[in-house]
Structure 1
């Protein structure tokens, strides 16, 4: 396959294929009449690179996975990213829950009128102050 064929089938630009070659992530399998030629295995590797990018891995991490000496080496990289994804999912779920609570509030404004949101605001303030007393209405925090 030509570089155009491989790029089209993988859904990337030909410049990306050339860039991955410069980084050592891919290699052309042969040249015919001055054109790079690629085998199906290289196309599959290119698609795999895209899958890893979709998972949020950097090109440096992808190189580490592709060039790993053994499974233990690439699995370390995969576990680190999986843990980061789990942390991000947890953060996004919390954000979603807050927004859902606010949208379900029956009052005019969730920050000032909603008891459920008010309780969550108070809980977060208590956590951020080390579990100290909540401010009384009208009181101000000292600088």
Structure 2
């Protein structure tokens, strides 16, 4: 099997060499050899890096991602947790849509003072509930 130099892995994956070394230190990826001082990786590391990027985008921590990979680097994707993360993303999307709509409403509101606008006041109450929910969720972690 052809080994990839750390520079080739960085170019092909878009992940900086320093990040690759950090991921190796965290146990997310594993180099299999050295060519002088340069780390060498098997081809599957590119798949692992793509999964790590996707996981980070979905809100998984690096520790979460480390638990997803077997000792040999094979991903073992926890389907129930993936469903839970997808549900969380759906909630975020709905919240972002409301925020977008609120911003558009504020920009176009005919009231001279936005605080006189009933819709704007409802949007502020919603924002407070969302902020309170996020704060309590962070306290529980």
TM-score (norm 1): 0.68
Alignment match of 1:32 (pick from 18, 31, 35): 35
Identify the residue that residue 133 of structure 2 maps to in structure 1: none
Identify the structure with the greater helix proportion: 2
Q: Does 1:86 align with 2:90?
A: yes
Identify the residue that residue 98 of structure 1 maps to in structure 2: 102
Aligned length: 121
What secondary structure does 2:115 align onto?
coil
Identify the residue that residue 137 of structure 2 maps to in structure 1: none
Give per-residue Cα distances to partners, 1:31-63, cap 9 Å, x unaligned.
233432112211221122112212222112212
TM-score (norm 2): 0.69
Which one has the largest radius of gyration? 1
Query: Structure 1: where are the runs of 5+ without partners?
Result: 129-143
Query: Structure 2: where are the runs of 5+ without partners?
Result: 129-141
What secondary structure does 2:30 align onto?
coil
What secondary structure does 1:40 align onto?
coil
Q: Describe how 1:1-143 pairs up with structure 2 within 5 A.
A: 1-67=4-70, 74-112=78-116, 117-119=117-119, 121=121
Give per-residue Cα distances to partners, 1:1-41, cap 9 Å, x unaligned.
21122112211221111111111110112223343211221
What secondary structure does 1:67 align onto?
coil
Which of the pair has the greater relative contact order for Cα pairs under 8 Å at 6+ separation? 2
Cα RMSD of the aligned pairs, angstroms, is 2.9
